[in-house]
Structure 1
């Protein structure tokens, strides 16, 4: 298949592209604006692959997106481009509204115009796969409750509200115009190439630098952790085998408190890169909780297992060990993100089609 992946230089998008190019014959066009979270160094290993092409563009640029659709003639679009950091959405929600809502609307309109021009066979085979988050559901209060595909939306932050809005737009474009869509809502991802502002890489790098390890509130917030390469495998299953108009929740079956996650990282670092002055857990610092902080997320992923045969391959213990080891082995990548030098990739990349 010819597939356009939006946001392919981001954390999940780059994992998806690496998986597709390494393990399938699909042809990939990576369309990414290269905001601060887009990092082409995450795709260095596949940059010269004959089935890969990168174009720097904004999903909200209708003329550019229309031209790319006409030229590349995709059989599917996998839409991952989004602003995704909750704390940033609290401090500056405008970018989240613009990218996640207005940008998704613009991409849907470009896609609809392209899809309407296809012949009957290609029109029936086409898929628009929208990748979203479990945060649209709000939080869970009972210890046994799980998010299902029918859980009502109750977003808590500007980020999750903007993603909820984009989900509704995608469903409306199917209901009103017949656009063949698929949706997935995933739990917290972790793994290699994760941007260092996120919890797990932040804790790893702060610990190695001897800096405080910030934990919001009492650290008892629960998240279901999904190894990013398991997520990539699930996304490929959905876009190739999923049923049109269906939503699939993707989770790792790995519920952990934030405090346990931090303590687990500390224990792994004690083993793999021990400090000379005490244990890493001595650096844990409890800080004021953020506004609107959801208490618990947990995914019921039984539908994707039942209908498509997907189950995660990694446990939290195995995935976290792989993640910590990757960061220890790739500190140069981390430092280039931390000091901003990775952003030099933007120079000369406009319109690259190699």
Structure 2
């Protein structure tokens, strides 16, 4: 039976999973002051709640400062349960213009990014400016505060199709140099601004002596993942929850892999504490699954009939499927992390969380 502890919005089993998995690392964060951008988004809420849970359970004495454009709106409309946590404080603003906390921050986690959910024409310019200006501002804070580490949540979008290994490795992307391509597409602009942020952080780290930690993030599933944005698994979960037909508009062959959010937190905090400075780590799932298979697995876990899945496109005979898959060799060998929560279990927990929340309203 899933339950949600008082003062939190995530399942106890997920909060406990993160606490147990990171048991060897918590002493290294004792007494830390963490500064978090993007703290009101999918990554951010998971980081916040799991850190607050561990803070209480392990008596870590953490302080967490969260940057948000509208803290009061977040605490009123989305997370009233977080309002009274003594370890938590908020700063209003954006990553480019926020007022730095007076008390030095030992660790900085930069998880903010510009959303293109509304498909505005100026998104590319906003993404580029916020990436460069925001990273510059956080580097300035890391230097001023003599921070120990700055963790940048980059993206698998830094890779181009030519960066993938051969088909024998399921077209997975390995961390390495990549060329530049079409600057105006959303994926390229997003990916190349993330790469620019990586370079800026690494250059500053070499000069000023803090750790530049880079997590190249791929695809994820779990509570708080937006269901209305352009995430295939989020859209499928939404349709399953609403009892609708699960429609795949393409041919269903593109390959993806998904990491559950509780494992995501374990990996990000492991990078924060144990990662090598200036070395990018891919973060994502290991099991490759086609979008068509994913639709059937969501339907099965949701208890929906098999015929509720519709795949509109027809695969081209002999065509190699498009793939967005990380190579995990580096992070597994360097940091020893593994995905503990299988995909079907991750889908089941996500569905259960949404159903529980809907029942509580």
Q: TM-score, normalised by structure 1?
A: 0.76
Aligned counterpart, 1:173: 204
Matched, 1:138 2:160: yes
Contact in 2 for aligned 1:108/1:173 (Cα 8 Å): yes
Change (3 A) 1:200 1:329: farther
Report what 1:53 is aligned to.
Answer: 89
The alpha-carbon deviation at position 135 of structure 1 amounts to: 1.5
How far, CA to CA, are the matches of 2:179 and 2:346 in structure 1?
29
CA 1:40–1:186: 2 relative to 1, 3 Å: farther
The answer to whether residue 211 in structure 2 is matched with residue 149 in structure 1 is: no
1:262 aligns with 2:295: yes
Q: How many residues are matched?
A: 307
Deviation at 1:130, TM superposition (A): 0.8
Offset of residue 185 of structure 1: 0.9
Cα deviations by residue, 1:113-170 (Å, 9 ceiling, x for unpaired): x14xxxxxxx4x6111111111211233733143223252557432222222222222
1:178 Cα offset (Å): 4.1
Matching of residue 280 in structure 1 with residue 318 in structure 2? no
Alpha-carbon contact 2:301-2:344 (below 8 Å) kept: no
- What is the CA–CA distance in structure 2 between the aligned matches of 1:309 and 1:141, rounded to whole Å? 23
Structure 1 CA distance, aligned partners of 2:120 and 2:253?
22
Report the Cα distance in structure 2 between the residues aligned to 1:160 and 1:166, rounded to whole angstroms. 10
Deviations 1:230-249 (A, max 9, x none): 01111111112223223222
Structure 1 partner of 2:255: 222
* Distance in 1 of aligned mates of 2:166 and 2:359: 42
Which residue of the partner structure matches residue 107 of structure 2?
A: 76
Structural RMSD (CA):
3.2
Q: Distance in 2 between matches of 1:41 and 1:234?
A: 29
The match for 2:330 among 297, 300, 303 is: 303
C-alpha contact (below 8 Å) 1:214/1:286 kept by paired residues? no
Which residue is 2:278 aligned to? 245
1:301 to 1:153, Cα distance in 2 relative to 1, 3 A: farther
Render the CA deviation track for 1:220-274: whole Å, top value 9, x for unaligned. Answer: 21122111110111111111222322322222212211222222112222x1xx4
Cα distance change of structure 1 residues 251 and 87 upon mapping to structure 2, 3 Å threshold: farther
SS in 1 for 2:324: coil
Structure 1 unmatched ranges of 5 or more: 116-122, 288-293, 336-354
Looking at structure 1, the residues matched to 154 and 298 of structure 2 have their Cα atoms a distance apart, in angstroms, of 27
Q: Does 1:20 align with 2:46?
A: no
Distance 2:248 2:239 in 1: 12
Long gaps (5+) in structure 2: 1-31, 182-186, 315-320
**Partner of residue 93, structure 1:** 124
CA distance in 1, matches of 2:352, 2:179: 37
Which residue of the partner structure matches residue 13 of structure 2?
Answer: none
Is 1:158–2:192 an aligned residue pair? no
Inter-CA distance 32–285: structure 2 relative to 1 (3 Å threshold): farther
- Partners of 1:91 and 1:14 lie apart in 2 by 27
Q: Does 1:204 align with 2:232?
A: no
1:176 is displaced (CA, Å) by 4.5
Contact kept, 8 Å, 1:21 with 1:51, in 2: the verdict is yes
